[in-house]
Amino acid sequence: MSQEKQLPLKENIIELACPSHGGLIREMADKYGIPASEMLELSASLNPLGSPFDHPLGGLDLDSLLEHAMERFGQYPDNRYLEFRKAAARFLDNGLSVENIVPGNGSCEIIRLVAEAIVDQGDIVLIPHPTFAEYEQQCNVAGADVRYIGQDDIFDLSDDVLGGAKILFVCNPNNPTGKLHKREDILSLAKKCVSNNTLLFVDEAFIELADDPSQTITDTVIDNDHLFILRSLTKDFAIPGVRLGFGVASKTIANALNIARLSWNLGSIPEVTWKVVATVRILWHHARPLKMTVIILLSASQ
Ligand SMILES: Cc1ncc(COP(=O)(O)O)c(C=O)c1O
């Protein structure tokens, strides 16, 4: 009896396309036959001042950092990642503790984690367009029904629309437009999300490099189980190859996600790197006068 062979994959995975975003320097080098070392990467928006390791004020010693990381190569990481989470809470410096932090192998991994933990097959998620492509990608992996809304419609969503969605994604400041929403506006949206039982996912990957980083709302997760904030360290510290990010949530949500996340998701190099770079906050305060440069770079990538 002949039977048509079917792929052992979920339909939404068979239909999945690659997300479109920057950071493709090696792929472009292969495509155009130009060595990556001779190309200028403008598609990944990073702190234009470079990494703390390039900066004389930082006084960071990369060799001793790597040596310290290598000492841990022979053991599994401590899956609680207490050092990492403590450094993240200290970095935010707004009354949060280790219990509010979810470590990520880059912040992209956290987008996947949240989608997996919240979205069931066919659930609606709302994504303002244009924005970072990974929200759609990771929600598609989870089998979501992705609905795009206009960037200008974020604050005017009806209770019907909001209440019909599991997650509303807001990127603040937005990639690729660079638009930074005011804290008070995001907080009133957060209230609306609570009353509609919708998770508000605020991506603050670029907020430290924005015009006014005090528009962050990380401090308000404490008593809100319908709010999740994403932070990426790779932008601030210009270290995309290390893969460092974290999520910020209420203790209840952060605890659930810490249990659900992949075990040992950070290796010893990112773990130790973060412990060191978290001490050099001062470096990117120098970035403020360069905000125009940052906004231009932001616009170049999606
Ligand atoms: C808005 C935004 N969020 C998150 C990320 C993911 O960054 P990473 O996974 O390097 O932390 C990016 C990367 O470009 C981004 O633009």
Per residue in 243-267, pLDDT (tens digit) is 999 999 999 999 999 999 999 999 9
pLDDT of 297 above 50: no
CA of 267 from ligand 1 middle (Å) equals 19
CA of 31 from ligand 1 middle (Å) equals 24
- pTM of the full predicted structure? 0.90
Instruction: Give tens-digit pLDDT for 151-193.
Output: 999 999 999 999 999 999 999 999 999 999 999 999 999 999 9
Number of neighbouring beta carbons within 10 Å of residue 173? 23
Order the strands of the 245-249 sheet from edge to edge: 101-104, 245-249, 227-232, 199-203, 165-171, 124-129, 145-150
Per CATH, domain 52-300 is 3.40.640.10: yes
Structure tokens at 87: 């450094």
Respond yes or no on whether the N-terminal peptide bond of residue 48 is cis (omega within 30° of 0): no
Ligand 1 site residues, Cβ closer than 6 angstroms:
106-108, 132, 171, 175, 203, 205, 232, 234, 240, 245
| Total residues found in the chain within this entry | 302
Domain boundaries, the chain: 52-300
